[in-house]
Structure 1
Amino acid sequence: MKTSYHSVHQPRCGVCQKHCKSFESLREHLTGPLPRGICSKIFSQQGCQLCLALFDSPGSLIDHRKICRISAPTCPGTSALPYIDSQFDCQDFSDENHAGEGPGGAVAMDCEMVGGGSDGSLELCARVCLVDEDERLIFHTYVQPEIPVTNYRYDITGLTEEHLRNAMPLKEVREKLLQILHNGESIGKVRLDGGKARLLVGHDLAHDLDCLKMNYPDHMLRDTAKYRPLMKTNLVSHSLKYLTRTYLGYDIQSGTHDPYEDCISVMRLYKRIRSQLHPEEDHGTMTLSNNIVGMPDSWISRELDNLTPDELYAMSRSDYKCWCLDLIPRLSA
């Protein structure tokens, strides 16, 4: 079979330049049970265990580690944040610190759920938190679910009936969140190309949005649970706890879950991945050709033999949008 083309956005070994589908594959290549000998040896002396980057000298590696390993955020707890609305507006992203990050930049969201229904298994949003790229808390509130709460899941959420007694109704919470995300942009423009709307960063955003009964365009979502390079080799999601410990170097969710802590962590993950420097790629992203999807392996093999090099290259391109491309300003009308 002809040599396959690999995307410049895929994780790559700094020693042998091997392309990997995910950071987990690259980590196994460098430090796993059966690592490649020469790569493992060089990486153990000159590589960062968090971001997997390779450096020219031990001194450069030491300097890098001081920046790469981040301390855990300080959690304010459940009693310190009754309601916060910072009147976040489009001026927050007009300065030079956010140049090149798109008209609206990004915000991270996390929700805390309690249980409803006779057995407490229904997921009900009871707390919402948003932070911006500078880790400023821009919105926080407790949420009054639309049906009675039957399980506050106190050991995990730290929430009680008192927290939700005078909480904001779900409909009002949803309206405020969309106001922040849309950033004054029309719904049509947000759905088309984003305009000046804000990117929404989170972990398992589909679950949070479902519990909020809220829709936001897929192309405006940055989900650390669904981003291919951060997933397992079998395309199963890692937990946010694992990703934070592995790529940021600190632990979260050791006791009661705090949405503020999760927001900060998921934003740090997003910014770390987004900051990767990749060469420009002339080709767009494509997925496996529809004419061979679902065919038996023997048929696929014969079909591959009949494809031209360009067609093989097209099939081997990454099927995800690299977050480094978010640094390219979105076109404005």
Structure 2
Amino acid sequence: MDSSSDAHGRHKCAACFRQFNKMEHLVEHMRAARHSPHEPRCGVCGKHCRSFEALRDHLGAGGSTLPKAASCASEFAASGCKLCLRVLASAAALRAHRGCQLSRTPPMARLHHQAQAPQGGGRALALGCKMVGAGSDGSLDVVARVCVVDEQEDIVFEAFLKPLIPVTHYRYETTGIRPEHLREGMTVKSAQRRVQELLLNGEQPWKARTSRGMARLLVGHGLDHDLDALGMDYPAYLKRDTATYPPLMKTSKLSNSLRFLTHTYLGYDIQTGHQHPYEDCVAAMRLYHRMKRQQHPRSGGGADGPAASADQAFPAWRQRELERMTPEELLRLSTPDYHCWCLDD
């Protein structure tokens, strides 16, 4: 009997360590779970977790420890980084490990770079919008300010916009926007054209939908909401949304706020007082870069290609062959059900 099965013949998943009475049940679990080397892993026991929040619970970094993980939590408490969740060799190594803690960028710090970098640098741009309220109770979101930032955190486009419908609530406490800011603002249509021009980077819109070419990746938090407010869309395979990226979501598969993600994974606070969309753009871009730098084994598939389906990885016609494999061999076959950002390199 192999090392992944105990004396009672139970078969243990090589990724999440769940045990099954029959090998066919383990195969079905691997088909549904979609474990892969791209999942966050415990640096102590090697367990795969579906998200970083689940890994934080496993390590006790979020204040709670999952059952049977006490030894991992104690080792993490002694030499683990609470931002990147790595377990270092010693407490001294942890003290020398400072690269994860980032400082907050002043919201207006880079506005003067707009004229110097009109097209933006890098393969990705971050989009952020601030909304004011419309409608009888001010609950309808209307875009009033837009900002686009490149990978060097320089602003390539920033403007106030004239709302298409009357504003009933400027939300000044958080947006800092007053009526006079919008009076001479750009039209939403003009802003839409400028943002689209920056993203397409000279590529034809019809071509960007089927092949990337020169089109840039779009980074942000809640991108669908921002794009809807601007009256535009963008191909899904070119979006990098920190609100819907599975490793950054809650264990309940709901989105975390950008403020929470920035505090938890970058180590500083945003959205305090009047909020500039530049601050949100920088936070989203930094989160993207942190996820992109994850060291994962490369296992087939192009950077922009769709993830292989479970039926391709574990086809039903190979069922008997799959049941003769070890849990480690099944894990090597498994593929993620999302595009890992580390493949963007």
TM-score, length-normalised on structure 2? 0.80
Q: Is the 8 A contact 2:128 2:147 kept in 1?
A: yes
Partner of 2:246: 228
The change in CA–CA distance for 1:87 and 1:246 in structure 2 (over 3 A counts) is closer
**Aligned counterparts, 1:109-188, within 5 A:** 109-188=127-206
CA–CA distance in structure 2, aligned partners of residues 239 and 10 of structure 1: 21
Partner of 1:294: none
Partner of 1:309: 322
* Aligned with 2:106 (options 61, 74, 77): 74
* Aligned with 1:89 (options 119, 130, 137): 119
Partner of 2:267: 249
Partner of 2:228: 210
CA–CA distance in structure 1, aligned partners of residues 169 and 231 of structure 2: 20
Q: Is the 8 A contact 1:82 1:141 kept in 2?
A: no
1:276 partner SS: coil
Displacement after TM superposition at 1:60 (Å): 2.6
Q: Superposition RMSD on alpha carbons, in Å?
A: 2.9
CA–CA distance in structure 2, aligned partners of residues 268 and 87 of structure 1: 19
Displacement after TM superposition at 1:120 (Å): 1.8
CA–CA distance in structure 1, aligned partners of residues 73 and 341 of structure 2: 27
* Aligned with 1:63 (options 90, 96, 111): 96
* Aligned with 1:33 (options 57, 60, 64): 64
Gaps of 5+ in 1: 94-104, 291-302, 328-333
Please identify the structure whose Cα radius of gyration is greater: 2
Residue-by-residue CA offset, 1:3-27 (whole Å, 9 max, x unaligned): 6372010000111110011000000
Q: Is the 8 A contact 2:208 2:235 kept in 1?
A: yes
* Aligned with 1:8 (options 37, 41, 50): 37
CA–CA distance in structure 2, aligned partners of residues 313 and 37 of structure 1: 25
Displacement after TM superposition at 1:87 (Å): 5.3
- 2:234 maps to amino acid: Y
Q: Is the 8 A contact 1:126 1:143 kept in 2?
A: yes
Partner of 2:79: 46
Partner of 1:298: none
Partner of 2:287: 269
Residue-by-residue CA offset, 1:129-160 (whole Å, 9 max, x unaligned): 11111111111000111112121111121111
Gaps of 5+ in 2: 1-24
- 1:43 maps to amino acid: F
1:146 partner SS: coil
Q: Is the 8 A contact 1:83 1:142 kept in 2?
A: no
Displacement after TM superposition at 1:235 (Å): 0.5
Runs ≥4 residues deviating over 6 A: 80-83, 310-315
Question: How many percent identity over aligned positions?
Answer: 47
Moved more, 253-262 or 204-213: 253-262
Residue-by-residue CA offset, 1:44-75 (whole Å, 9 max, x unaligned): 122110010122233332222x2110011112
Q: Is the 8 A contact 1:70 1:249 kept in 2?
A: yes
The change in CA–CA distance for 1:81 and 1:167 in structure 2 (over 3 A counts) is farther
2:209 partner SS: helix
- 2:78 maps to amino acid: Q
Q: Is the 8 A contact 1:82 1:142 kept in 2?
A: no
Q: Is the 8 A contact 2:164 2:188 kept in 1?
A: yes
Displacement after TM superposition at 1:201 (Å): 0.3
Q: In the alignment, does 2:51 pair up with 1:22? A: yes
CA–CA distance in structure 1, aligned partners of residues 295 and 210 of structure 2: 27
CA–CA distance in structure 1, aligned partners of residues 191 and 275 of structure 2: 20
The change in CA–CA distance for 1:128 and 1:85 in structure 2 (over 3 A counts) is farther
Q: Is the 8 A contact 2:113 2:155 kept in 1?
A: no
Q: Is the 8 A contact 2:144 2:163 kept in 1?
A: yes
Residue-by-residue CA offset, 1:268-320 (whole Å, 9 max, x unaligned): 11100101111112477345569xxxxxxxxxxxx9xx786389869963211
Partner of 1:100: none
- 1:76 maps to amino acid: M
Displacement after TM superposition at 1:107 (Å): 0.9
Q: Is the 8 A contact 2:36 2:332 kept in 1?
A: no
